[in-house]
Amino acid sequence: MAEILNATHQQLLYEAQKQILSCGKNTDNILRVLSQTSSSMFGRAGFGVIFYDPSAQQTRIRFNDGFSEKSLGFHCVAFTREKLQAITISARSIADENGETHYLTPLGSEDDVFGMLVMPEHPSAHELSVSAFRDLALTSINTFLEVELVQLRMEEMAALLEVGRVVSSTLDLRELLTKIMSTATKVMRCETSTVYLVDDQTNELYFHIVSGDPNVGAKLQEIRLPLGTGLAGWCAQNNKPIIVPDTEKDPRFFKGADKKSGFVTRSMICVPMRLKDRVIGVLQVLNRTGTIPFNDHDLEMLENMANQAVSSIENARLYENIQKVYLSTIEVLATAIDAKDPYTQGHSRRVTQYSVAIAEEMNLAPKDVEDIRYAGLLHDVGKIGIKDSIIRKPGRLTDEEYAIIKKHPAIGAKILRPVDFLAEKIPGVLHHHEYYDGRGYPDHLTGENIPLAGRIICVADAFDAMTTNRPYRKGLTVKTAVGELKKFSGKQFDPDCVEAFLKAFDRKLFQYFEKVEDSDDMVLIDDGTEIKESPENSHELEGQPYPPMAANEMKDEKKLESQPYPPVMAHIVAPDGSINPQPYPPAKDSERPSSQPYPPISGDDDKKN
């Protein structure tokens, strides 16, 4: 009987060896094979593996099949005590708290026991079989756990290489910090991460960017921590890393961020980001996932990540400061351009606000949004090359003068072309007067052949022209201006850009407008422009843009080459003597072009063309 039993065990051990070899590098599958083999050989479930974590100075359950968590927990505590006391560890039988006897076999070498194999104590009749099984289990576990450890180190090295690649891939600070937080969260196996930067002027930590819900992010960005306040502030002030396994038990923990965000912080690691001897920020990871808490090895990994990221962060901050200087300079230039024309104070700033809002509503890439920001500020830079006598002319322009005005997009592009930094902004400047149906200038492009930046700025430019106060009349109401955008959508304007503008207006642009008394309409918040109306200019110049034109100068029915958007309303005397504002010149319905653009053209012109 014994020989038959041994033969059966031999067959089971042989099958187990084959399955283990087929498992490759998957340690979990190997442990499952061993557990199933143990149960088949001895008719009793029970197979566990515990490991000692020297960085956390704790023993953890690596695998459990058949034991209670409490029972293996008892062995973990005992093994930790032996490791800390440097007691010689050998194989032995030990009873748990419930009096159940288990047999523990050391894993690793005699000089470095890193864990224990836990099995039920089997009858002495199975001694040879138990010994053979333990030999197979120890050989398999020792060999493949070494492979697992190597794999883990390789993954960590790969993660550090990925951090290096990420931090060297961009100079955009927002994008850089987002990538650092995303990589840290993944590598450190935690719920989220945060980067604080030090404000050198105030000696405070602040959130430059917060991932996740933008509403939560906005609230967190209001928080500024004086150095020494909170765990991150302590880390920055003392220039030391810190592991906090339970934030509730640490009096340094600042609860304000959790209150504002609704996030519950349970554990964290904070490491200072050092540039030479100066701390420029703090990298923080929060709430470790899984059963293994943050430990010294995690701290070392996070410090390596911070060291790799710090130079790139500083370079990105310098680049951001340079960008701010560029933008400030361009804003000054745009203000100077607007000052050439007394009717367009603040025009470039508003066009930029509207254009950026449209671009963001269309979910353009951050770089494209920034290009449109610069193009919006510079869209009229070409007016520098136009004589003030034409720009400031109070009456209707001649065809020759209007032809000169139409050169300002090309002049602007020529001004920007030598500046490498502004080269990608040129399309928005050059083509912001192109019309969707091809009747614009300078190149008479149509539809999507017009660069998107040009189509966006065209909508923003027209809306500001209509809603802005002028010295001779008030700006149009929002409803009226929106009606014009919708009316000429697909003709003068890209329909997608119009739709995006309307959504952006409802979402945030409305804040620049105020309610009209006793009405549900809105007008642009009063900019202080003095409005002087007289009998000579009492005609309706609804939405009159730059350059202004006096209706009383429009008595002839010559073609409206100099007529900008939107059309000027002139006095039309009806047979009964009443005065009705009508587009000049009046056109018969049969003569009016179906895709009437701004500037409008008369039916006679259509026939000529």
DSSP string, 68-135: -HHHHHHHHHHHHHHHHTT-----EEEE-TTS-EEEEEEEE-SS-EEEEEEEEPPPGGGHHHHHHHHH
Percent of the chain with pLDDT over 70: 77
Cis bond before residue 442 (omega within 30° of 0): yes
- Which residues make up the CATH 1.10.3210.10 domain(s) of the chain? 320-524
The angle formed by the CA atoms of residues 177, 178 and 183, to the nearest 5 degrees, is 95
- 536-564 tens-digit pLDDT: 443 333 333 333 333 333 333 333 333 34
What distance in Å separates the CA atoms of residue 577 and residue 264, rounded to the nearest whole number? 76
pLDDT at position 21 is 82
- 208-224 tens-digit pLDDT: 665 555 555 566 667 78
- 157-184 tens-digit pLDDT: 777 677 777 667 667 777 777 877 887 8
- Spatial neighbors of 554 by CB under 8 A, at least 6 apart, are 396, 568, 570, 584, 585
2-154 in CATH: which number?
3.30.450.40
| Helices 452-467 and 495-507, packing angle to 10 deg | 60
- 411-428 tens-digit pLDDT: 999 988 888 888 889 999
- 450-506 tens-digit pLDDT: 999 999 999 999 999 899 876 556 789 999 999 999 999 999 999 999 999 999 999
Long-range contacts formed by 59-63: CB under 8 A, 24+ apart: 59/83, 59/115, 60/291, 60/292, 61/291, 62/31, 62/115, 63/28, 63/31, 63/35
pLDDT beyond 50 at 306: yes
Match domain 173-313 to its CATH number in 3.40.309.10, 1.10.260.40, 3.30.450.40, 2.60.40.1080.
3.30.450.40
Distance of CA 433 to the CA centre of its chain: 32
Does domain 320-524 fall under CATH 3.30.70.2190? My reply is no
pLDDT beyond 80 at 65: yes
Which of 82-86, 332-336, 395-399, 551-555 is the least confident region? Answer: 551-555
Residue 590's CB is within 10 A of a number of other CB atoms, namely 6
Confidence of residue 354 (pLDDT cuts 50, 70, 90): very high
| Helices 347-361 and 296-340, packing angle to 10 deg | 140
- Which residues make up the CATH 3.30.450.40 domain(s) of the chain? 2-154, 173-313
pLDDT beyond 50 at 200: yes
